[in-house]
Amino acid sequence: MSSMFSWREVAAQPGVVVAPDERLPWPQTAALGVQHVIAMFGATVLAPILMGFDPNVAILMSGIGTLIFFAVTGGRLPSYLGSSFAFIGVVIGATAYAGGGVANPNIGVALGGIVACGALYAAIGLVVMATGTGWIERLMPPVVTGAVVAVIGLNLASIPVKNMAPTAFDAWMQALTFVAIGMVAVFTRGMTQRLLILVGLIVASVIYAVLTNGLGLGKPLDLSKVASAAWFGAPAFAAPVFDARAMLLIAPVAIILVAENLGHVKAVSAMTGRNLDPLIGRAFVGDGLATMVSGASGGTGVTTYAENIGVMAATKIYSTAMFVVAGMVAIALGFSPKFGALIQAIPLAVMGGVSIVVFGLIAVAGAKIWVDNRVDFSNNANLIVAAVTLVLGTGDFTLKFGGFALGGIGTATFGAILLYALLARRR
């Protein structure tokens, strides 16, 4: 256990990689940990809002989940666990949540499904630890994982477009929001550019306040609840309800999480020059346990975060010590009602514009998997798998089995795996 918390201290040098078992001096490590919290913040908070969950609980559980992941992987795999977007579609389907930023009245049913998903995910991890990674890499090659990741973003695209712009003003505000994020992404540099979602959200919220509170064009921005909220207090925990239908609908998301985590380990391996494949099974178990703990408390399912991989790539610092700091900071934020009230005060239209960008980035991340792995689309098996998967997910193709319905992301995920297994046999 002591070796888990033993990092070799190194000095910061431009362009020099800081390995997972190394760290900078503690003040710098602490600053880097806060930076990682900021990097995951926008997406981790957005997901629970879209599902009607308490953002404070989600932030708290992301911190606890990150520490669980750290412990299970022996402190050797740098990663932050944040809210997974793969759950949004199935949770909305299982709970019939109408959106609007209000609390989900059927949250317990969703939580039961999330716990079941985490258990399945951890079980897959135990199998990988016992048998090796070869079978899962054959089952889910880049053409499959890329299609599955892309489908998550495409399937969710209708949420901000149809449900988060009730008026013409809100639609224009959504447009201003994603333009603001785009300008931050292109015209800024350094960490401001890395935090494009957060900075763009702040800029768009200021514009919204000017147009509504100042010019009376829409629903005014209300910060009264932020001012009255306490600095410290317990978040609104919730207990799971184990409904068989919801569990069958949500549990298969584990397959998507496997694809995401597998890609994370491969990416970090490439960046650090270390073979981290022996940790894949442990990574699945850690992520699965974190998802179970989160679901049992009222939080969202969690997954390894691409935003934090991006920060590591930009800084060349892969120390796991900074993720211990990040987890502890997130836990502290989770116990701040004022922080939660600030999140709830974000205008729906602004959050809709942010969602358009985030869901689009998820879709593009799937395509990037294809590019990075040089997927050959002149091969008809790859072509058909990708084409069918994208349409199944985007069109929300649903298959019914008696009283159970498997929606878009589910049919796309299992369709991609099964279709590839069938068509690749001819090779």
Domain ranges within the chain, ordered by starting residue = 2-375
Query: Cβ-count burial of 412 within 10 angstroms (0-12 exposed, 13-18 middle, 19+ buried)?
Result: buried
- Number of C-beta neighbours around residue 1 at 10 A: 8
Alpha-carbon distance 197 to 170, whole Å? 19
Alpha-carbon distance 117 to 188, whole Å? 39
Question: Quick check: 335 and 235 in contact, CB under 8 A?
Answer: yes
> How many CA atoms does the CB half-sphere of 291 hold within 13 Å?
35
Structure tokens at 265: 């380990």
Alpha-carbon distance 226 to 136, whole Å? 47
**In Å, how far from its chain's centre is CA 93?**
19
As a whole number of angstroms, the longest Cα–Cα distance in the chain is: 66
Which residues of the chain, if any, have pLDDT below 70? 1-3, 12-15, 42, 100-101, 190-195, 306-307, 310, 314, 401-407, 426-427
Alpha-carbon distance 256 to 84, whole Å? 10
Question: Quick check: 80 and 308 in contact, CB under 8 A?
Answer: yes
Closest by Cα among 321, 422, 329, 386 to 145: 386
For position 14, what pLDDT does the model report? 64
Which amino acid would we find at residue 381?
A
- According to DSSP, the β-strands at 302-304 and 81-83 are antiparallel
Residues in Cβ contact with 177 at an 8 Å cutoff, skipping those fewer than 6 apart: 200, 201, 204, 349, 350, 352, 353, 354, 356, 357
Alpha helices in 10-82 (DSSP H): 26-51, 55-72
**In Å, how far from its chain's centre is CA 104?**
19
For position 44, what pLDDT does the model report? 81
Task: Please name every residue paired with 405 in a beta bridge, in sequence order, or none if there are none.
Answer: 400
- Determine the 3-state secondary structure of 4 from DSSP: helix
**In Å, how far from its chain's centre is CA 128?**
23
pTM above 0.85, yes or no: no
For position 317, what pLDDT does the model report? 82
- Determine the 3-state secondary structure of 302 from DSSP: strand
Task: Write the CA distances from 35 to 28, 351, 370, 418, integer angstroms.
Answer: 11, 22, 29, 40
Residues in Cβ contact with 244 at an 8 Å cutoff, skipping those fewer than 6 apart: none
